[in-house]
């Protein structure tokens, strides 16, 4: 029987697959890199755990708010379509552009970078000659970057990005199977590692507290530091909204998308708090702050060098799955934009055999690979988070807009605690963005610059649409 949906995307993802996209896109690089950065910033195990829990609860609020909108609108493109309904073409376009220019592609670059770091601890691929490694390129408002620094690691990151782009090129069902299997494996490996640390590790629960000892004094500095630590935690929780991008390929999306957002986020909060407790059990905060590969350091405490090697394999699997989930879902945004005449027409093509947005996948993969060259893991992740939370804020505010614009539309799920819960999320997001601009100006400006570059393209596509519309009207006359 021939495919009657030729030229269209197919609904093949189940609730399990959708939930694994949520959880799998979140659990990736952050939980294996950010605890060390956050420990160095906070220097307090109590604050470290509080920040992880707080960031998880705030992320859950964001997921609950988005669940209401996802239940109303089930088109492929997710939040791009939501923004179009909320605010019109300009905001929707700027979001879609940002997804391609920085938010998701930058996220993919950072995840691939951690995958490459751990894999290269086995392969030991060297970098380029010193003259190339120290070559600097100036970026306006940002400063100097070193694209060829640590090139061995960056080369691996680029290759895995392009490989998974190819996997998802040949079908969402295959990509979904990969995502489900890898997510189950990495959640299982994290829980197993945590349990083994508590059972076999010669640690102590005394590491869970040091009386909130802070090296930096003053309320202003403490607020700034907590803000920076939250940024790290938010990076680890980021990706929860990826499933909305593939709404048009999920079975019974008005039920399954909201449920997958809630289930996936709750799973990740539990996993993150558990593994951070395990890390602290064997790694005092003073030791954790000096360990970039914190999961490996924790495993080595129990099993020696061999144990560190085993957990490195688990991290490689985890980041591989997170990267796959992001690549699978994100390309659908540019696809949706193109289908509505808001982006280059070629990105709206569906592969005649595989029924995937193949051109959109290729463009996304190439740009993600380029962004790998823009910096280190921490640099890339920090400018991604600033850009992402700008639109998370607008998305949560959009719930108020849609309640007024579409009061009679059926809502399979309504966000609990309306209007207070969405309002808290919006206010928090605004304060977080202000703190990021003040405390981490360079990375925030990088994110903002990549967003603003899209404005001229918006007016070009608007002009093109009007011209085509006028041409069609003339032909009819």
Who wins on pLDDT, 272 or 246?
272
CB atoms within 10 A of CB 155: 17
Does residue 122 sit in helix, strand or coil?
helix
The whole-number average pLDDT for the span 146-168 is 89
The whole-number average pLDDT for the span 452-461 is 92
Which pLDDT belongs to residue 459? Answer: 93
Which pLDDT belongs to residue 167? Answer: 85
Domain 15-469 fold: Amino acid/polyamine transporter I (1.20.1740)
Chain-centroid distance, C-alpha 447: 14
The whole-number average pLDDT for the span 75-81 is 73
Instruction: State the Cα–Cα distance between residues 101 and 95, nearest whole angstrom.
Output: 10
Q: Is 292 exposed, middle or buried (0-12, 13-18, 19+ CB in 10 A)?
A: middle
Q: What is the pTM of this model?
A: 0.79
Who wins on pLDDT, 306 or 327?
327
pLDDT tens per residue across span 96-106: 899 888 888 98
pLDDT tens per residue across span 350-383: 888 888 888 999 999 999 998 888 776 677 778 8
Angle between helices 104-123 and 358-372 (to 10 degrees): 60
Q: What percent of the chain has pLDDT over 90?
A: 24
The whole-number average pLDDT for the span 151-178 is 83
> Who contacts 368 (Cβ-Cβ below 8 Å, separation ≥6)?
105, 106, 108, 109, 112, 161, 327
Q: What percent of the chain has pLDDT over 70?
A: 89
Max avg pLDDT among 140-149, 216-225, 269-278, 369-378: 269-278
């Amino acid at each position: 029987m021939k495919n009657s949906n030729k030229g269209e995307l197919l609904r093949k993802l189940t609730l399990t697959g959708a939930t694994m996209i949520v959880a799998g896109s979140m659990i990736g690089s952050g939980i294996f890199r950010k605890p060390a950065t956050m420990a160095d910033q906070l220097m307090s195990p109590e604050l470290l755990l509080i920040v992880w829990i707080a960031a998880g609860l705030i992320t859950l609020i964001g997921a609950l708010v988005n669940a209401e909108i996802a239940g109303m609108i089930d088109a492929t493109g997710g939040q791009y379509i939501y923004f179009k309904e909320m605010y019109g073409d300009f905001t929707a376009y700027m979001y879609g552009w940002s997804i391609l220019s920085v938010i998701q592609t930058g996220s993919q670059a950072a995840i691939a970078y951690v995958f490459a770091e751990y894999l290269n601890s086995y392969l030991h691929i060297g970098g380029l000659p010193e003259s190339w490694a120290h070559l600097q390129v100036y970026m306006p408002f940002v400063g100097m970057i070193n694209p060829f620094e640590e090139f061995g690691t960056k080369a691996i990151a680029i290759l895995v990005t392009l490989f998974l782009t190819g996997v998802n090129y040949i079908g969402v069902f295959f990509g979904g199977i990969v995502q489900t299997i890898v997510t189950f494996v990495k959640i299982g490996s994290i829980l197993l590692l945590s349990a083994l640390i508590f059972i076999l590790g010669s640690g102590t629960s005394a590491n869970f507290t040091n009386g909130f000892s802070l090296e930096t004094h003053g309320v202003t500095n403490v607020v700034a530091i907590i803000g920076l630590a939250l940024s790290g935690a938010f990076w680890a929780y980021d990706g929860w909204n990826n499933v909305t991008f593939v709404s048009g390929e999920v079975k019974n999306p008005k039920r399954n998308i909201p449920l997958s957002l809630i289930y996936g986020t709750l799973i990740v909060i539990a996993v993150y708090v558990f593994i951070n407790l395990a890390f602290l059990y064997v790694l005092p905060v003073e030791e954790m702050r000096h360990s970039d590969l914190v999961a490996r350091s924790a495993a080595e405490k129990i099993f020696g060098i061999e144990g560190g090697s085993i957990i490195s394999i688990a991290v490689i699997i985890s980041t591989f799955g997170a990267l796959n989930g992001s690549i699978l879902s994100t390309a659908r945004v540019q696809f949706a934009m193109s289908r509505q005449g808001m982006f280059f027409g070629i990105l709206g093509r569906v592969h005649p055999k595989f029924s995937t947005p193949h051109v959109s996948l290729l463009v996304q993969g190439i740009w993600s690979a380029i962004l790998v060259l823009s910096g280190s893991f921490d640099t890339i992740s920090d400018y991604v988070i600033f850009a992402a939370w700008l639109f998370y804020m607008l998305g949560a505010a959009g719930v108020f807009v849609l309640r007024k614009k579409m009061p009679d539309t059926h809502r399979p799920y309504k966000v609990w605690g309306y209007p207070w819960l969405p309002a808290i999320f919006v206010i928090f997001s605004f304060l977080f963005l202000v703190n990021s601009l003040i405390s981490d100006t360079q990375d925030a400006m990088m994110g903002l610059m990549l967003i603003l570059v899209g404005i001229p393209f918006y007016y070009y596509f608007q002009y093109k649409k009007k011209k085509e519309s006028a041409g069609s009207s003339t032909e009819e006359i």
